[in-house]
Structure 1
Amino acid sequence: MLDSYTLSLITSIPLCALKHLTASAGAHVFASMMLYSDMMLTLVIYILSHILLDLMATAGAHAFVAEEGKKLDKLLDSHTEYEFGGPWGVLAIMSGFPLLMYYLWICLVFYDGHLVFPDSLDDVQPFLARMWAHISVDATPNLYAWKVYLGLIAYQLFLAWIVPGYSQEGLPVPSLAYKTLVYKCNAIGCIYITWISAIVLHTTHIFRLTQIIDNFGHLMSVAMLVGFAVSFGMYFLTVATGNQIRMSGNFIYDVFMGACLNPRLGPIDLKMWLEVRIPWVLVFFMSVSGACKQYEELGYVTPNMAFMCLATWLYLNACIKGEECIPQTWDMFHEKWGFLVIFWNFAGVPFSYIYSVVYMANHDPANYRFSTPTYVLLYGTLLTAYYIWDTAMSQKSRFKMQTQGITTFRKTFPQLPWGTLKDPKFIQTAHGNRLLVDGWWGYSRKPVCVFWGPYAFAIN
C-alpha cells in the first residue's frame, strides 16, 4: 500500500509535529498556531495523495495479457529484493513507530506541545521514568478501551456481513491464473448506519462521543496491540494453511510485508474492509469527538476544529461513495496483508493523523485562532484540491471499469462534474494494459493535485 513517497508523507506528519514542538516558551502561542496549521495542511496533503499513490498504476484492466506482460507479472509475484531497508529496516519501523506515536502524544497532551528531552545524562533514567508514567497511567490498555475498540471492529464486521452491497469485479490476479475476484461494496450503507448509530448513542448518553478523545491514549494502546496481534496471527495462519505468496524467507520481513494476498472472511475481503471501515471511521469520529468536547466546554466549535471535521468527512465519504473503485487498485491487486498495512490501518492512521485534534482538544482556542482571510484560504484550498482529487480518481477508476465492459456507474453523493470521460485517449502497452492519457491524467502521470497540493500547502 505504501511506497517510499507515501511513507515520506506519513513520516512528514510526526516530523512536522517535532519541528513545531521545539518552539520556545516565549513563542508558544505562535508555535501552537503553526503546529495546528502545519498538521492541518499535512493531513490534507495526505488526503490528496493517499489514494492517488495507491492508484498510481493507471493501467486499465484489460482481459488480454501479452506474453511479455505475463513474464513481468511472474517477476512481480517473486521476491527479488528487500524494501524498507530489509529485515533490520522493518524491525526498526515496527519498534520505532509505536514509540514515536507515544512520544508525540505525550508531548502534545502533557508538555503543552513542546518537544521534551532529558536535561542531562543524569536525567535520562528519570526522563524515561516520566515517559513511562504517562503511558502507564493515561495509555493503559484498560477494559473500557478494549470494549470500545473491539466493539467498533465487531460492529463494522457485522455490518459488512449483513448490509446489502454492490458487487464489483476486481482486476485479474496473476497468482490466481488471472482470475478476477468479486468484492462486496457496501461501505456506504454501513457507514451511514454507523453515523446514525453514533448520533443515537451520543444523544441518549449511552456513549458520549467526547469519550473517544478523552480516552485517546488508552484506545491507542489497544489499537497497537490489535495491530500487532492481527499481523502475526495472519502470518502464522497463512503459512499454516499453505497460502503464502512472494515470501523472502526472513521471518520478521515476511511478517511486515505479509504472507496473504487475498484474506477473506465469508463475503468480506478483509484487506478492503480494513482500508476504510476502521482507520477513516476513527479519524472522522475523533474529529467529531474533539468538536463535541469543544461545544460542551466552550459552547461553540472553532473554525479550526470544523475544518478538521470537514476534511476527514470528505475523505471518509470519498472512500465509501467510490468503494467500487478500490478493487481496481494496487492495494487489492498486488499488496499483501502484513504489518505494513494492518498495523497502520488499525493504529497508525487513526492515532497519527489526528494530532491537530488532540492539540486543539487540550488547548485554549486563543492559541490557534486565525484571521478570517486565512480561514477562507484554508477552506477554499481544501475544497478546490478535493475537487481535483475526486474527479481525477473518478476518471481513472471509471476508465478501468470501461475497459472491463462496465458503462453504468453508481450515483453516490456527491457526483462532481467531469468525473467520467467519454471516449478517453489511452496508450496500449506491450503488457496488454491501457494507460489513460486524458482528463487530468493528460496533464500529468500523477495529476497536478499530487504536486500542486503539497506545493500549495507548503507555500501557505
Structure 2
Amino acid sequence: MSSQGSKILRAISYGALVISLGVPFAAYALNLGCSERASNCAQPHADLPVLLLAAILDSQWWKSLWDTQVVLTYAGWYAFCVLAWAVLPSEWMEGLPLRSGGTKKYKINAFSTLLLTLSIVLAWILRFGPDSFTYIYEKFPQFITAALHNSVAQAGFVYAQSFRNGELLALGGHSGNFVYDVYIGRSLNPSWGSLDIKQFNELRPGLILWVLIDISMVCEQAVRRGGFWNVTESLWLVACSQIWYVADCLYNEPAILTTMDITTDGFGFVLSVGDLLWVPLFYTLQARYLVFNQVELGPPATAVIMGLNVLGYYIFRAANAEKNDFKKGINTRNLQYMTTEGGRKLITSGWWGRSRHPNYLGDIIMAIAWCLPTGFNTIFTSFYPIFFAVLWIHRQMRDDDNSPKKYGKDWEKYKKIVPWRIVPYIYRVLANNNSNT
C-alpha cells in the first residue's frame, strides 16, 4: 500500500475508534439528558453539560450503570431469541447470489418469535399487573450497559471467526487495520452452525426488545396514572406506531435478504451495536420521555400525526415491496427498467422511478411522526428524526459511490432517468450545490 493510502487508512481507523467510543457515550448522554433526573428534559439546554460533567465525576453513577441482574436478564433474553429461532416453525429461504458463487439459506421465523414473546408478556401483565413490567424502565441505563457488552463481545467473536478457512469476507472489511476491520465487519456472513449471526441480530433481539421497552413505558405510565385507560394518547400513539412498524418488518422478514446490510456490509461493531443497543435503547427515547412528560394531544393533533405516520409507512412499505418483488421477478410487468451491460436491472418507474431511495423517505416521515407527540419542549426527542435523516443520506451517498462499481458507465445513464436521491423534486437541488448529479 502506498504512503498516501496508509495515511488515509490510518485516518479512517481513527474515525472508527472515535465512533466506537462515541456511540456508547451518546447513548448514555441522550438517556441521561432525557430523564427525570434532568428536570424532565423540559429545559436541558443549559443544564445538560453540567449534568453530564457531574455524572462523569460521580463514581456512584458509574457504578450504577452495571447491574449483574440486568446483564443476566439481557443474556437470558438473547438466549430466548436463539431458542425461538431454533424451535419455532419456519421456512428456509435463499438470499441473493454471493460473489463467491451459490446462495446462502436463511431461516425465516422472526414474526413467530414476536408473537410468542407478546403472548408471554401480555399474559404476564394480565396476571401480575402493569407494575410487574416496569423493570426495563427502572433499569434503563443498566440495559444500555448490558447491550453494549453483548455488542462488543459479538464484534470480537465474529472478527476472530473471520479468519477461518473459506470465510467470505466483506469487500470493505478486510483492510488489514485491526480497529477499522473490527468496527466495519470483516466477515460478510458470520455464522454459528446454521444460524446466520447478521440476519439474526438485524431482526430479533434488538427489534423485539424495542417492542418490550415500549410496553414497559406504557406500563410505567399506567401505574402512575391509575390504569391503562388513563395512559395519554401521545404515548399510545408512539408505542402503537412503533410496535406496528416492528411487526411489519418481522412479518416481511424475507425483504431484508435483498438489503445492503445483508448483501454488502460486513458484520462488526457498527452493526452489532446498532442492532442490539442503538435501535432498542435509542429509538424508544420518545416513549421514555412521555412517561414523565405526559402530553395530552387531543383528537385533532392525534389524527394529523396518525395520518403522517400512515403516509410514511405506506411509502416505506410500498417502495420496499416493489423493490423486493422486482429482484425476485414478481409483478414486474407494470414496471419499466433498464438493463446494464453487465446484465443487472435498474427500476426506472414506480416508486423507484420517483427517487433512488423512496423507502428512506418513508422512514424519515415516520421518524418525524414518532417525534411530534412529544411536543417541542425538548431537543432530545427531536434528535431522533435528525439522526435518521443523516443516517439515510449518508447511506444513500455511500450507495451512490459504490454503484459505479456494480453498474459501470450505465450508472450515469440511470441517474439522468432517476435524478432525485431521496425526496423527489427536492433533494437533487440541494445536492447539486456540491455535486453534478
* TM-score (norm: length of structure 2): 0.74
Q: Which amino acid aligns with 1:322?
A: N
Does residue 427 in structure 1 map to residue 357 in structure 2? no
Counterpart pick for 2:107 among 184, 195, 219 = 184
Partner of 1:200: 123
Q: Is the 8 A contact 2:88 2:113 kept in 1?
A: yes
Partner of 2:56: 128
Does residue 400 in structure 1 map to residue 327 in structure 2? yes
Does residue 266 in structure 1 map to residue 193 in structure 2? yes
Does residue 445 in structure 1 map to residue 356 in structure 2? yes
Q: Which amino acid aligns with 1:170?
A: G
CA 1:421–1:380: 2 relative to 1, 3 Å = farther
Written as runs of structure 1 = structure 2, the 5 A alignment for 1:336-347 is 336-347=266-277
CA 1:84–1:182: 2 relative to 1, 3 Å = farther
Equivalences, count: 355
Q: CA deviation at 1:235?
A: 0.9
Q: CA deviation at 1:383?
A: 0.9
Q: Which amino acid aligns with 1:334?
A: T
CA distance in 1, matches of 2:363, 2:52: 43
Written as runs of structure 1 = structure 2, the 5 A alignment for 1:357-436 is 357-361=287-291, 363-365=292-294, 368-402=295-329, 407=330, 422-436=333-347
Q: Which amino acid aligns with 1:169?
A: E
CA distance in 1, matches of 2:72, 2:93: 33
CA distance in 2, matches of 1:281, 1:124: 30
CA 1:85–1:353: 2 relative to 1, 3 Å = farther
Q: CA deviation at 1:186?
A: 1.2
Which string of whole-angstrom CA distances, capped at 9 and with x for unpartnered residues, describes residues 423-451 of structure 1?
Answer: 42211112221112232122222228618
Q: Is the 8 A contact 2:168 2:189 kept in 1?
A: no
Secondary structure of 1:438's counterpart equals coil
Written as runs of structure 1 = structure 2, the 5 A alignment for 1:154-303 is 154-174=79-99, 176=100, 178-205=101-128, 208-239=132-163, 243=167, 245=169, 246=171, 247-298=174-225, 299=227, 300-303=230-233
Q: Is the 8 A contact 1:84 1:90 kept in 2?
A: no
Counterpart pick for 1:108 among 34, 51, 58 = 34
Secondary structure of 2:341's counterpart equals coil
CA 1:101–1:200: 2 relative to 1, 3 Å = same
Q: Which amino acid aligns with 1:173?
A: L
Which string of whole-angstrom CA distances, capped at 9 and with x for unpartnered residues, describes residues 356-404 of structure 1?
Answer: 122222x241xx33343222111110012111211111111011111xx
Q: Is the 8 A contact 2:315 2:362 kept in 1?
A: no
Q: CA deviation at 1:217?
A: 1.1
Partner of 2:424: none
Q: Is the 8 A contact 2:9 2:177 kept in 1?
A: no
CA distance in 2, matches of 1:314, 1:124: 34
Q: Is the 8 A contact 1:172 1:179 kept in 2?
A: yes
* TM-score (norm: length of structure 1): 0.71
Q: Is the 8 A contact 1:280 1:312 kept in 2?
A: no
CA distance in 2, matches of 1:431, 1:234: 33
Q: Which amino acid aligns with 1:86?
A: I
CA distance in 2, matches of 1:263, 1:231: 10
Q: CA deviation at 1:222?
A: 0.7
Which string of whole-angstrom CA distances, capped at 9 and with x for unpartnered residues, describes residues 251-301 of structure 1?
Answer: 101100111111122332111110010121111111111111111221222
Does residue 93 in structure 1 map to residue 19 in structure 2? yes
Secondary structure of 1:248's counterpart equals coil
Structure 1 runs not aligned, ≥5 long: 1-78, 408-419
Q: CA deviation at 1:125?
A: 7.2
Partner of 1:40: none
Q: CA deviation at 1:244?
A: 6.3
Which string of whole-angstrom CA distances, capped at 9 and with x for unpartnered residues, describes residues 326-371 of structure 1?
Answer: 111221111101001011111111111111122222x241xx3334
Q: Which amino acid aligns with 1:443?
A: R
Secondary structure of 1:396's counterpart equals helix
Which string of whole-angstrom CA distances, capped at 9 and with x for unpartnered residues, describes residues 175-204 of structure 1?
Answer: x2x311111111121211111122223333
CA distance in 2, matches of 1:314, 1:452: 13
CA distance in 2, matches of 1:81, 1:401: 42
CA distance in 1, matches of 2:211, 2:310: 17
CA distance in 1, matches of 2:27, 2:253: 29
Secondary structure of 1:356's counterpart equals helix
Partner of 2:281: 351
Which string of whole-angstrom CA distances, capped at 9 and with x for unpartnered residues, describes residues 122-146 of structure 1?
Answer: x99756323x433422x22x22202
Secondary structure of 1:435's counterpart equals strand
Written as runs of structure 1 = structure 2, the 5 A alignment for 1:54-73 is none
CA 1:125–1:449: 2 relative to 1, 3 Å = closer
Q: For CA contacts below 8 A with separation 6 or more, give which structure has more relative contact order.
A: 1
Q: CA deviation at 1:242?
A: 6.5
Q: Is the 8 A contact 1:424 1:436 kept in 2?
A: yes
CA 1:401–1:383: 2 relative to 1, 3 Å = same
Q: Which amino acid aligns with 1:311?
A: S
CA distance in 2, matches of 1:200, 1:436: 46
Q: CA deviation at 1:164?
A: 2.1
Structure 2 runs not aligned, ≥5 long: 373-437
- Give RMSD over aligned pairs: 3.0
Secondary structure of 1:249's counterpart equals coil
Percent identity of paired positions between Structure 1 and Structure 2: 24
